[in-house]
Amino acid sequence: PCMPEITSTLADELKESFEDKFGPVSEAAVMGSQSGSQVMSRGFGFVTFKNQSSYFEAVRQHFIILFGKKVRSLGQHDIILCV
């Protein structure tokens, strides 16, 4: 299953990973849901790139490996992932 706990550094790790692969990222977020005292990943997130060329490269790839998992880019300025 694709439902780990969201840590305080997960969005930073996501941002760094996309920056390493595609270029500058202005913001990254992992969507979560409260589960008791924990916030669990909902299995997707969003990345906002600082420039269009980075965005187009990420979308062109369509699938990439991120955190050891296959990630699907859906375009429309978002990147869908399983973390």
CB 17 within 8 A of CB 41: no
Q: Are strands 69-75 and 38-49 parallel, antiparallel or unpaired?
A: unpaired
pLDDT at 81 over 70: no
pLDDT 10s digits, 13-30: 888 988 999 999 998 888
pLDDT 10s digits, 52-80: 888 888 888 878 887 788 877 776 655 55
